Structure 1
Amino acid sequence: MSLTVWILLFCINSLCWKWIISWGGAEVIKGWAAGIFFDWLVSDLNAEQIRAYSLLVWIGSGIWFIFGLFVPEVRFYNLNQ
C-alpha cells in the first residue's frame, strides 16, 4: 500500500474515533448499535465505557500507523491485487 493511501486511511479512521470520543458518537451507538459498530463485546457498555474503549483502540491504531510509516511491510492491505 502506498504511503498516501496509508495516511488517508488513518485520517478517515481517526475522524471516526474522534466522532465517537468527542462529538457525541458514543451516545448514538450505545447499545446494540455498538455491537454492530465494534464487536459483540461492547454491546452492553454505556457511553463512557465506549469512549474509553475507543480511546484505547485509537491509541493502538496510532501506534500501528506510526510503525507503518517506517516499515512498509506492516501495511498488509495490498491494493494492487
Structure 2
Amino acid sequence: NDTYTYKAEDGTLATLTFLNTDFVHTLTVKMNDKEYVLDQTEAWAKGAAYEKDGVKAHSQRDDLDLTMDGKTLKLKRQYEK
C-alpha cells in the first residue's frame, strides 16, 4: 500500500492510503480526525474512482476530488521538498 499526504485548497491536510492487492482495492482517507475507507469502483491508467456510504473520491495523477455532504474538496498531493 502507498500512503501520501494531500492538501486541500483551504490548507487542510489529509493522509491517503491506496491499497491494491489481488483482491482488495481501497482508498483510506484520514482527515479532520475522521477516517473513511472507500471501495474502488473504477480504474484507468492514471487514476481511479472510489465510493462508500455516499462519500466519493476521484483521483487523477496528483489531484484528488473528495465529495461528501454535497461538497467537493480538491486535494493535491504534496511532495517532500
TM-score where L is the length of structure 2: 0.24
Where relative contact order (Cα < 8 A, 6+ residues apart) is larger, the structure is 1
Q: Highest Rg: 1 or 2?
A: 1
Q: Say which structure is richer in helix.
A: 1
Q: Say which structure is richer in strand.
A: 2
